Structure 1
């Protein structure tokens, strides 16, 4: 019997390493699967076809715009959608919750946050503020939407009441990132997106969709932290962030792989972003291009 409560939407680009793993984790839920691909050249499309997924193609610009397109282009017939990245896995506990999920029992709720476990080089990154970590992944179709005011970080916005599912989680492990060269190249592209985004915010070309709240939802809290981050001086804030995560949020307990992850993600990546912001601001021609045409942005994908 086809699941009439929710539909899965998945973004892919050369995900033969991950897609079957994700599909295996949701097998038995009997939900429709929609896959938006951005030009895979490996076995991704064959895996999707065998799984009976509905597949469409769309040129990748950034994650927020790709999710926006996915929510627009597919014919969704269920009241809920679950938007999952190809490198994520539904755990047995989360699968059980989804198996028992019924729309009629959640009439007063518009969105559900899933807890996430993040793995790097086979190690669960448990500290440094990385667990628990809640992502809005399930929401009412036609009510939730992709936040296009973000350039790199993608998040969904849902008006109305949301809940946290605390006792089950997604596992996120990008096996391609076990190759450190892949991780560095990927985050170098991401640093372009983030640097341009912050310059646009400084020029008042981009605003936050959510109202920042220290004690709000996970995404409202993130918006509050970002507002604080943008006020901190360039080149100083990567040091502060790394020390905060590694010492005060106990990232030091994550071991050798944890040190590599926290150092690269909290310090190296943020420092590269700050360097690129300074380069953009100091280049009059580049600044003029951004001012004249805010649609000019670099592209990046996983």
Structure 2
């Protein structure tokens, strides 16, 4: 029986994570395509041991990497699932995929999965991080990577979507257990976000998704971003962190969770604002 979907996975030195993910989907016997950006560890050996088809493409940012993957792999299935190497398909989500019937979703082009984010072994359940729906499964040829983002990668479809609230993707980057890795990674990300926001100020970049408070998960995110860009820089990280900790009950995530909310909701946002100010000042001096 021809499989209904294929998997596409991005990798770079993921020997620590890739076996977890591939073992979690092994029962599906679905085609696996891996786009690597120059791994020097055993990532490629692991991919080959699971029968994955591997291609190489130098990394610039996640949206462009996904765009290349969708355009250069010869996917033969009607659906494709795009996953990050540090994610795991839970048994409940696996059952949904095992029982997936294309005919049941005849009028649907995309499916949102529910993600659980794990930081330093702790499930981040509050602060707006759960439930967290991501469009991960879509009809091949109907979905595309949003190139109007520098860091946040998302797939977009123009047709109907549905949400699978049961079953989860677990996302746990074990490298982030070392705080230096997390800080270095997000320092790089802050450059991408700062450049992107300046381009939005100059009307060089627009949101692909229409902002809508009561729309689908990505439309709501677009709505929140449209408000964020209007808030005063340097003040907005304080507002956002306070909102996450109080109204979104981030304090209930305990010491590890509060550390995560501080780093991701305050420190990272503040660094972005600092870099925006620096870049704008440099432009004025030219």
Give 3-state SS (helix, strand or coil) of 2:27's partner: coil
State the distance in 1 between where 2:226 and 2:50 align: 42
1:283 is matched with: 282
Which residue of 2 is the match for residue 211 of structure 1? 210
Structure 1 residues 1-40: aligned runs within 5 Å: 3-40=2-39
Deviation at 1:284, TM superposition (A): 1.9
CA distance in 1, matches of 2:225, 2:248: 18
Q: In the TM superposition, what whole-angstrom CA distance separates every residue of 1:218-250 from its partner, at most 9, and x where no partner exists? A: 001100000000000000000000000011100
SS in 1 for 2:48: helix
Matches within 5 A, 1:46-195: 46-195=45-194
Aligned to 2:220: 221
SS in 2 for 1:166: coil
Structure-2 separation of matches of 1:10 and 1:27: 14
| Unmatched segments (≥5 aa) in structure 2 | none
Superposition deviation, residue 121 in structure 1: 0.1
Q: What's the TM-score, normalizing by structure 2?
A: 0.99
Uncovered stretches (5+) of structure 1, i.e. residues with no partner: 289-302
User: CA–CA distance in 2 between the matches of 1:86 and 1:185?
Assistant: 19
Residues 167-213 of structure 1 show CA distances to partners (whole Å, capped at 9, x for unaligned) of 11100000000000000000000000000000000011100111100
Compute the RMSD of aligned alpha carbons.
Answer: 1.0
Match of 1:231 in 2: 230
Q: What is the CA distance between 1:104 and its match in structure 2? A: 1.5
Secondary structure of the residue aligned to 1:66 is: helix
In the other structure, the counterpart of 1:295 is none
What is the CA deviation profile of residues 52-84 of structure 1, one whole-angstrom value per residue up to 9, with x for unaligned ones?
000000000100000000000000000000000
Matches of 1:79 and 1:167 in 2, distance apart?
Answer: 23
Q: Distance in 1 between matches of 2:229 and 2:268?
A: 15
- Deviation, 1:256, is 0.7
Q: Residue 285 of structure 1: CA displacement?
A: 7.0
- The residue number in structure 2 matching 1:261 is 260
Residues 233 and 285 of structure 1, relative CA distance in 2, 3 Å threshold: closer
What SS class does the counterpart of residue 261 from structure 2 fall into? helix
Deviations 1:37-58 (A, max 9, x none): 0000000000001000000000
**Could you tell me which residue of structure 1 aligns to residue 249 of structure 2?**
250
In structure 1, distance between residues paired with 2:165 and 2:263: 28
Q: CA shift at 1:105, angstroms? A: 1.5
Distance (whole Å) between structure 1 residues aligned to residue 144 and residue 163 of structure 2: 18
- SS for the counterpart of 2:233 is coil
- What is the rounded CA distance, in whole Å, between the counterparts of 2:283 and 2:72 in structure 1? 39
Pairs aligned (count) = 286
